[in-house]
A and B are shown apart, each in its own frame.
Chain A
Amino acid sequence: MSALLNNKNGQLKIQQMIFMLLAVTLFFILVGLFFVSYKATNLQKEVASLKKDKADGLVGRISGNPEFTFEGKSNAIDADKLMILQTENKYTFVENGRRKAFWGVEGIIVRKIYPLGEDIECTRDNYPDCNLIKLFTNENSAPSSSFVSWCTKKNFQGVNYDKCELAELMIKESELE
């Protein structure tokens, strides 16, 4: 009788221990999951911040790129070249199912801001009587921006000259590579 009682008591202890071990394991798993989700949220924030940093770093310097620069002048973009870039598909590619441009951005928008007027998107038909050039995007604005000179070649009574107007260059950042 006493041996039977001892045996039952032992089984109960083992069951208690199993429950305890299960509880401890579950506790560690939950803490682990909480930590992983916290890290994932942090990572997303860091990725967003890196994207913004990249766009901010790029927007002030993109006018110095050979595809944009107007005769090597500081902070001046060549609108003629941008019009050609509109139809150039070598600068875009698809990576991981997303369309990206060469500079690691999803789109570039340049808008003349003086003289003020309604947005007229530049096409081959209306250029240069327009004030908005969109590259690789259909949107009209983007979060990161800087001011540049919008320059073109003009001719007045047989004399060529450079015409530059104030414009805002905007960048729509893409996923980090």
Chain B
Amino acid sequence: MNKKGMEFGFAWLFAIMVGGVILFLAIFGVSRLIDTSQGEVNTKVAVEFANVLDPLQTVVSESSGTQIDLPVEAKIFTSCDLEGNFGNSLVSFSEKIGFGDKWSKLGGEARTKNAYLFTENEMQGKRINFLIFPFSMPYKVGDILVAYNKNYCFVDTPVLIENELRDLLGDENSNIVFADSLNSCPDVKKVCFQGNCDIKVKCDDSACTKGFVDKDGGRVYFTDKLIYGAIFSSQKNYECNVNRLMKRLSIISEIYAKKTQFVSSRDCVNIILRPDIVSLNASSANYRTLNDLPKIERISKVIDDKNKELECQLY
């Protein structure tokens, strides 16, 4: 009888075992490589996104609105820290890949010191809408970059706010709709200026230059254009970015305080502003919570009024 066909010796066992190990290592290596590559792509997208934030910022004191379309659906995670003299806005991405709508490995964080990104902690979608407002107190401090991708219904909106948003959004953008009552709103997040809904805005005056926003069980105070940051941003991102703006205000005030002396040698007399600017510098440096905002705003108003009266204005 020929037994050769049934032979299953050591050589076969050895080959199967080692072959299996090699195959396992190869598959493991390739899957790790794909993971790393996707992480690398996500990091690159985050850096590109952070790079785009610079050109978005205003050159003159005009607000603007725009959109960024991503090549694929992505989850965008944003956060903020107070590290160093200015703090950072941090962004990281995870893109949807392959079959079964799987989310890829989260990429590295891209950070920017020069942008103040007011958003929810997590956004998901292919299109990100931006509203950009210069933040001045009384001189320009930075730009409020509001990013959102959910749909909103604004109810009983003050005329000034509605007109401003309509101007910025244009006719084609339908992410925000305006309604007279909650009943006429579609099934989206509701922002109401009277009554109760998802995001409740309480204004202290008709132009809504001061007030507070109740959202997700928390309350944040706003002044001027920070209203949009308060509406569209998470409480954590809002408080952190306002804190960062105050840090920058403090340092910019130092520059203006020095400028009052610097230009006086050329007969441009505005040194009268110096004590108030020094006070603004100290108040903003000591900023701790949103409750400190009204005091800082009061000093900034005094500086603005005095500056307007000057023949050689400081800013």
Binding site for B on A (CB under 8 A): 10, 13-14, 17, 21, 24-25, 28, 32, 35, 39, 43, 46, 50, 53-54, 57-58, 60-61, 63-67, 69, 71-75, 80-81, 83-85, 88, 90-91, 93, 102-104, 128, 152-155, 158, 160, 176-177
B189 to chain A, nearest CB (A): 31
* Interface-centre pick from A14, A46, A54, A63 (highest chain B CB count, 10 A): A54
- Known A-B contacts: A102-B86, A158-B267, A160-B312. Give 8 more (CB < 8 A): A10-B9, A14-B11, A21-B15, A28-B22, A66-B252, A90-B85, A160-B267, A176-B110
| Residue of B18, B255, B262, B313 touching A88 (CB-CB under 8 A) | B255
| Residue of B10, B258, B268 touching A155 (CB-CB under 8 A) | B268
A58 and B54 contact, CB distance less than 8 A: yes
Q: Which residues of B contact A128 (CB under 8 A)?
A: 266
B119 CB-CB contact with A under 8 Å:
no
Asked if A63 meets B85 with Cβ closer than 8 Å, knowing A10-B10, A50-B48, A153-B263, the reply is no
Q: How many angstroms between the C-alpha atoms of A61 and B84 in the bound complex?
A: 24
Q: How many angstroms between the C-alpha atoms of A116 and B58 in the bound complex?
A: 31
Asked if A57 meets B54 with Cβ closer than 8 Å, knowing A21-B22, A28-B22, A93-B84, the reply is yes
B54 and A54 contact, CB distance less than 8 A: yes
Which bracket fits the contact residues of B?
35 or more
Q: How many angstroms between the C-alpha atoms of A53 and B139 in the bound complex?
A: 29
Residue of A nearest to B88 (CB): A177
Q: Which residues of B contact A84 (CB under 8 A)?
A: 255, 258-259, 262
Q: How many angstroms between the C-alpha atoms of A14 and B268 in the bound complex?
A: 93
A-B contact count (CB 8 A): 120
* Interface-centre pick from A24, A66, A104, A155 (highest chain B CB count, 10 A): A66
Q: Which residues of B contact A14 (CB under 8 A)?
A: 10-11, 14
Q: Which residues of A contact B251 (CB under 8 A)?
A: 88, 90-91
7 A-B contacts (beta carbon < 8 Å): A10-B10, A10-B11, A17-B11, A58-B54, A61-B55, A90-B251, A91-B251
Q: Which residues of A contact B248 (CB under 8 A)?
A: 66
Asked if A102 meets B114 with Cβ closer than 8 Å, knowing A64-B58, A81-B259, the reply is yes
B255 and A61 contact, CB distance less than 8 A: no
Q: How many angstroms between the C-alpha atoms of A142 and B50 in the bound complex?
A: 22
B315 and A71 contact, CB distance less than 8 A: yes
Q: How many angstroms between the C-alpha atoms of A24 and B111 in the bound complex?
A: 44
Q: Which residues of A contact B142 (CB under 8 A)?
A: 66
Q: How many angstroms between the C-alpha atoms of A32 and B9 in the bound complex?
A: 33
B51 and A64 contact, CB distance less than 8 A: no
Residue of A nearest to B109 (CB): A177
Residue of A nearest to B12 (CB): A17
Q: Which residues of B contact A102 (CB under 8 A)?
A: 86, 113-114
B112 CB-CB contact with A under 8 Å:
yes
Q: Which residues of A contact B196 (CB under 8 A)?
A: none
B11 and A61 contact, CB distance less than 8 A: no
B254 to chain A, nearest CB (A): 8
